Structure 1
Amino acid sequence: MSADKRPGLADATRGRILFGGDYNPEQWPEETWHEDVRLMRDAGVNSVTLGVFSWAKLEPRPGEREFGWLDRLMDLMYENSIGVVLATPTSSPPPWLGRLHPETLPRDEDGRSEWWGGRQHFSHSSAAYRRYAAAITEDLAARYGGHPALTMWHINNEYCTYDWGDEAAARFRRWLQTKYGTLDALNSAWGTAFWSQGYGDWEEVLPPRHAHYLKNPAQVLDFKRFTSDMLLECYVAERDIVRRHTPSPIPVTTNFMPLWVGQDAWRWAEEEDVVSVDLYPDPRDPLGAQHGALVQDMTRSQARGPWMLMEQAAGPVNWRGVNHPKPRGLNRLWSLQAVARGADAVCYFQWRQSRQGAEKFHSGMVSHAGEEGRTYQEVKQLGAELAGISGEVTGSHTSNDIAILHDWHSWWAGSHEGRLSTQVDYAEVLTTWHRALWQAHLATDFAHPEHDLTAYKLVVVPQLYALTDAAIDNLLVYVRSGGTLVCGFLTGIADEDDRVRPGGMDPRLRELFGIRTLHEWWPLDAEETAETDGFCGTLWSEEIEAAGDASVEVAYKGGELDGLPAVLRNGRAWYVSTLPEPHALRVLLAGIAADAGARPVLDGLPDRLEAVRRGDLLFVLNHGRESVTVQVPGTHRDLLTGATVRAEVTLGRYGVVVLRP
């Protein structure tokens, strides 16, 4: 199927915001199913995901098939106008598979098996696992590919397994042979001249298993790439099976975990018809809304348009040390935040809270309190509101003026054991920079460093330790074409093989930023700061020397780096050699954005408020508990209430308005 003929999310939504969640009716007697349908219809549920963890129910013994219960469910959903996102059950193999084929069980770095009894206990490289997964997927797709209730295929669930076992080792060698061709090329890429690691036979090459001391970082980097690729192979194999059996345009997806280190989601997104994500901010985290915004911005950018919130919690989760419920109104607020940032599907794990099993204290849309409980009543209100705005929202998309660059390969390369500071965590640095822009009310996309950046007024690089030559050239072209670039520390240090660039930073980047010499890196301890003449730097500092016409915008003050650049500007290229304290980073980035012509959606917004444009609609969200009045120029209609808004609007605790001019 060619890319331009592939179905998309619109083929599943059909002009509605999908609303529902994972439904696990096999955990309940059949009389409960009809009660569930009544409650779903009352709550405006129009989509359920079936079969995610049903392999043992569908195939209780090898080769047997029990589809009768699923037949009845598919028909029941269709009769009640509830679409089905049908999952392949391959994320949780039945116990018999591990017992009969122990080679399907993944092994950790020490060679220990991960046994059945939980979930995700499969080796992505196991031929037996792939064979059985393909067989159950084939029969499932053949039976239901033409069912009128089917609106989307959902492959596996939260791909996240690693495997260091023998079968994975054999596949790793084949993957390396494809990539490098010869052992000489492998030895060069891995730098095996260090510590006498040179390989003379492919059979000597193993995954990076438990070692006496530090592992080879290039070997670890390639193993992470290999793992992402093997999991993607599993996804593509099942995707192609369900496509073959589906006569109408039914999209296929699998759900990402938010900012998950194990998948190159840029590459994965290219293989999906719908990009979907699971999102669980902590309701007690005062910055939970910013975490949600980051994941939503990233997912929308991967989708290049509308996307699917596959899972969220209606109340508490069960895996934090203390699992707090969501206060009244927070579930609605965060759901509408996702819609504002491009979601055309708002779904949950799960529909009815389980009474048994490891996740019985993970909330459901119907909690243990039942129909009269606050959780269900809030879900019901949200369902009605989403139905009311669906026709105005679905399919719309807004481009932003700012792009944040992010790359999984750089993340992997920069997180090796022998780095300069374990205090530097890539995901935390990325989050901190996004947070500064979010708190400055500046809307952002995410982009890969090799993507076309010409549409953006400002490109922000919080940190990209490893960059390909193509990525570096892309940044140079962007700035030379009139774009503004602001870049954080530890960027452009290594190439794609984790080989340090000449001079400690790629010479092209040093010239771009106006750095004559990078003398030394000066990482900071957890409580240590680097004083400057403008702010306190944290986490990191660098001994760099300015070149030519580069301007020292902020200088270090005192200590070993006294007078040297903390913030350096060379034309439209900015380099920040430390991590400014949060307020200072916010002010710095807001000033650079303003100079580049990128402005907030609304001026003068107070903290805790967020304004987002989606198409012609303006979403204003109050992430605080106190009422706030905000100026909104012009006259609008609030789609949630039907009220006319002139010049200003007051939002109560966790309040939201969706304004059409």
Structure 2
Amino acid sequence: MINKKLPKMFYGGDYNPEQWDKPVWDEDMRMFQLAGIDVATVNVFSWALLQPSENEYNFELLDEIMDKLHENGLYACLATSTGAHPAWMAHRHPDVLRVDFQGRKRKFGGRHNSCPNSPTYRKYARLLAGKLAERYKDHPALLVWHVSNEYGGECYCDNCAEAFRVWLQQRYGSLEAVNKAWNTRFWGHTFYDWEEIVPPNELSEQWGPTRTNFQGISLDYTRFNSDSLLECYKEEHEELKKHTPDIMVTTNLMGTFKPLDYFKWAKHMDIVSWDNYPAADTPVSRTAMTHDLMRGLKDGAPFMLMEQTPSQQNWQPYNSLKRPGVMRLWSYQAVARGADTVMFFQLRRSVGACEKYHGAVIEHVGHEHTRVFRECAQLGAELQQLGDSLLDSRVPSRAAIVFDWENWWAVEFSSGPTVALQYVEEVHKYYDALYQANIQVDMIGTDADLSGYDVVIAPVLYMVKSGYAQKVEEFVQGGGTFLTTFFSGIVNENDIVTLGGYPGELRKVLGIWAEEIDALLPGKQNRIVMKKELGSLQGEYACEMLCDLIHSEGAEIIAEYGDDFYQGMPVVTANTFGQGQAWYLASSPEPSFLQGLLQQLCRDKGIEPLLETPAGVEVSRRRKDGKDYYFLLNHNAAPQTVDAAALDAVDVLAGGKAGIVELPAHGAVILQAAASAEDTRSGSAQGVLSR
């Protein structure tokens, strides 16, 4: 449980009373109570108010805010304010300002403009966190700590260059090892002194965010940047824990945010939290995948939905309103996939600057008689009704998809074979194939224990880290089903090609080797021709983007290419290895093929859909104390009907037995049933639940 002071799902969001006159605060408190809001995230961007100068601190206004919340029965998610340094700091200590990718020194402005390796920034951020923790450690409103805000961005200043060299010394130990890892004999790049190494920006090795002469250098600088920001977080985390060891500490992540390795970050977070801002046309399965990824960062533990908008966003090209019911629907989608909080940005709309048109619980009109407020109040009442029934429940899954930030970076730093290959989009294709069938999956990192799963899918596993091939072999040997795809097993963790034939270290378990990789031009396709029926799969299917030209080394050939000079060569193979199977897809198939194949692989392991539903109706399940909670989520703009009689369930919110469930447009229903007993593989679901 996040905090026993409030044994229910937190409901609230970002609140900025410092931007308002105090009479407005009283009106806010009244409206928060009407909406069922019980948590406010405060102090996110107040550093300039808290610290007017180098040696002066003023906490009087924050004292009033914290007391006001407590007096009105609200709790605080208290931020450290270090996401935006004060103007005086930038003026007096320019080392806090970043140097951008083009080599230009920034001026004060915006946010996330602090160099993570600035001694000045780290000193004052650490001091502020410590002072806040010491002052509010016993305050009854304090519920959870929120460090900084949405970490991100890069810096290429001299401080970062120096810190990068230290980072390299710690990682590699010697210049000889660095030269080998980066293959610096290419283009005469051999380094003889640490000072010769400079950050890879537009002034040196890169000419775009993913275009680089030396993948090893750029990959390591990306790792270094993620680690540098993480060190800033860890320093504040340490200060907070000195004074409040029992209060959870988090920072708000941003889903599939490329620059930061969130699996590494999660190891230092007491609970994962993230900000969910899909566009109106974002596939709902993509949002579901990201929720599952956030849950997967800490081995399936519940997470915090820290931010979402009650209605519209303000930074997208077209800021559409959330249609009636969609805010509630998307909130329950987060809960269904592991969220133990529902929180918004923002509780009251700002009057000026760049977020004044971002949605809020309290709109500019200032009263409760709005559609958005009524919807928020309805959800608040429902969360009160749910109480602690769902808190700390888990999402049982017997299938997993591997997601790896370092692999993502390496794939998109690659100098070929196609610019069309987008790692997250390719992973999402495999996720969506199972999502459409209501088959629940975990999103896991390369450090995850595989023994609790029956099926593991690793799309585009370009980088195979040390020891991972052996982990895969042991998983398959023990009876698991493993599937990977084209452009896998190519390089090691330093982006050095594994010689001896693709897919490198995975060659043994897959029973194939790849001779060449063909990149298809936009609009061009090849064909997957089935050699035999496989479940619902028969006949031909389109494939595109990349085509590995593979040879079987014992793997069964399931399908062949239908066109071009490699017509008749294998495109889909399955290799029996020990008690399990390892599958390889040598091209990117059309969705119907993926759906048929992945559903069949799951069916072969006894993994069935949670429910059969109409298109656009999502089903997810959480489990706690011998009870299963099924979330039926209608993403359609028209009503839908679901037959849930087989669950022998009751409607948690409406009461009564659930047989034929009528879902209104954008409607959501939660059903409670006795926990199912279909998890039969030894250690599968229970292993996942207990990790």
Task: State the TM-score bracket (shorter-chain normalisation).
Answer: over 0.9
| Counterpart selection for 1:539 from 545, 553, 556 | 545
Shift of 1:39: 0.7
Shift of 1:41: 0.8
> Does the 8 A contact of 2:503 with 2:514 survive in 1?
no
| Counterpart selection for 1:87 from 79, 100, 103 | 79
Q: Distance in 2 between matches of 1:547 and 1:134?
A: 57
Write the letter of the residue equivalent to 1:543: L
Residue 395 of structure 2 is matched in structure 1 by 398
Deviations 1:550-578 (A, max 9, x none): 22112110212201111111121110011
The structure-2 alpha-carbon separation of the partners of 1:589 and 1:13, relative to structure 1 and needing over 3 Å to count, comes to farther
- Secondary structure of 1:393's match? coil
Q: Distance in 1 between matches of 2:408 and 2:370?
A: 43
Q: Distance in 2 between matches of 1:205 and 1:413?
A: 20
> Does the 8 A contact of 1:13 with 1:344 survive in 2?
no
- Secondary structure of 2:388's match? helix
**Is 1:110 matched with 2:110?**
no
Residue 374 of structure 1 is matched in structure 2 by 371
- Secondary structure of 2:241's match? helix
| Counterpart selection for 1:643 from 656, 663, 667 | 656
> Does the 8 A contact of 1:388 with 1:639 survive in 2?
no
Residue 236 of structure 2 is matched in structure 1 by 238
| Counterpart selection for 1:439 from 436, 439, 442 | 436
> Does the 8 A contact of 2:464 with 2:505 survive in 1?
no
Residue 573 of structure 2 is matched in structure 1 by 568
How is 1:504-653 mapped onto 2 (pairs within 5 angstroms)? 504-515=501-512, 517-533=513-529, 534-548=540-554, 550-571=555-576, 572-602=581-611, 604-615=612-623, 616-632=628-644, 633-645=646-658, 647-653=659-665
The structure-2 alpha-carbon separation of the partners of 1:545 and 1:503, relative to structure 1 and needing over 3 Å to count, comes to same
Residue 475 of structure 1 is matched in structure 2 by 472
Q: Distance in 2 between matches of 1:253 and 1:109?
A: 29
Shift of 1:22: 0.6
The structure-2 alpha-carbon separation of the partners of 1:12 and 1:187, relative to structure 1 and needing over 3 Å to count, comes to farther
Residue 133 of structure 2 is matched in structure 1 by 141
Residue 300 of structure 1 is matched in structure 2 by 295
The structure-2 alpha-carbon separation of the partners of 1:188 and 1:634, relative to structure 1 and needing over 3 Å to count, comes to closer
CA RMSD, 1 decimal: 1.4
The structure-2 alpha-carbon separation of the partners of 1:311 and 1:161, relative to structure 1 and needing over 3 Å to count, comes to same
How is 1:128-527 mapped onto 2 (pairs within 5 angstroms)? 128-210=120-202, 211=204, 214-246=212-244, 249-285=246-282, 287=283, 289-303=284-298, 304-370=300-366, 371-416=368-413, 418-515=415-512, 517-527=513-523
Shift of 1:489: 1.4
Shift of 1:414: 1.3
- Normalized against structure 2, the TM-score is what? 0.92
How many residues are paired up?
646
Q: Distance in 2 between matches of 1:379 and 1:503?
A: 59
How is 1:59-74 mapped onto 2 (pairs within 5 angstroms)? 59-74=51-66
Residue 5 of structure 1 is matched in structure 2 by none
- Secondary structure of 2:583's match? strand
Q: Distance in 2 between matches of 1:347 and 1:123?
A: 29
Shift of 1:504: 4.1
- Secondary structure of 1:138's match? helix
Shift of 1:66: 1.9
Write the letter of the residue equivalent to 1:301: G
Q: Distance in 1 between matches of 2:137 and 2:158?
A: 36
> Does the 8 A contact of 1:485 with 1:574 survive in 2?
yes
Shift of 1:328: 0.3
Q: Distance in 2 between matches of 1:121 and 1:83?
A: 30
Q: Distance in 2 between matches of 1:478 and 1:374?
A: 52
Q: Report which stretch shifted further, 630-639 or 38-47.
A: 630-639
The structure-2 alpha-carbon separation of the partners of 1:368 and 1:504, relative to structure 1 and needing over 3 Å to count, comes to farther
Write the letter of the residue equivalent to 1:609: V
> Does the 8 A contact of 1:494 with 1:505 survive in 2?
no
- Secondary structure of 1:38's match? helix
Shift of 1:507: 3.9
The structure-2 alpha-carbon separation of the partners of 1:455 and 1:577, relative to structure 1 and needing over 3 Å to count, comes to same
The structure-2 alpha-carbon separation of the partners of 1:12 and 1:536, relative to structure 1 and needing over 3 Å to count, comes to farther
Shift of 1:58: 1.1
> Does the 8 A contact of 2:14 with 2:347 survive in 1?
yes
Q: Distance in 1 between matches of 2:507 and 2:115?
A: 44
The structure-2 alpha-carbon separation of the partners of 1:528 and 1:12, relative to structure 1 and needing over 3 Å to count, comes to farther
Deviations 1:564-596 (A, max 9, x none): 111111121110011111222111111111112
Residue 48 of structure 1 is matched in structure 2 by 40
Specify every segment of 5 or more residues in structure 1 that has no aligned partner in the other structure, as ranges.
1-8
> Does the 8 A contact of 1:284 with 1:324 survive in 2?
no
Q: Distance in 2 between matches of 1:611 and 1:562?
A: 40
The structure-2 alpha-carbon separation of the partners of 1:641 and 1:13, relative to structure 1 and needing over 3 Å to count, comes to farther
Q: Distance in 2 between matches of 1:81 and 1:397?
A: 29
Deviations 1:275-332 (A, max 9, x none): 01111111234x1x21221111011111331110001111111111111010000000
Specify every segment of 5 or more residues in structure 2 that has no aligned partner in the other structure, as ranges.
530-539, 674-691
| Counterpart selection for 2:18 from 23, 26, 32 | 26
Write the letter of the residue equivalent to 1:384: A
> Does the 8 A contact of 1:579 with 1:585 survive in 2?
no
- Secondary structure of 1:545's match? strand
Q: Distance in 1 between matches of 2:196 and 2:355?
A: 43
Q: Report which stretch shifted further, 168-177 or 438-447.
A: 438-447
> Does the 8 A contact of 1:84 with 1:149 survive in 2?
yes
Q: Distance in 2 between matches of 1:262 and 1:566?
A: 33
Q: Distance in 2 between matches of 1:446 and 1:634?
A: 26
Deviations 1:595-615 (A, max 9, x none): 12221111x222101111111
- Secondary structure of 1:519's match? strand
- Secondary structure of 1:543's match? strand
- Normalized against structure 1, the TM-score is what? 0.96
Write the letter of the residue equivalent to 1:373: T
Q: Distance in 1 between matches of 2:194 and 2:305?
A: 43
The structure-2 alpha-carbon separation of the partners of 1:384 and 1:292, relative to structure 1 and needing over 3 Å to count, comes to same
Write the letter of the residue equivalent to 1:337: Q
The structure-2 alpha-carbon separation of the partners of 1:301 and 1:397, relative to structure 1 and needing over 3 Å to count, comes to same
Q: Distance in 1 between matches of 2:5 and 2:638?
A: 35
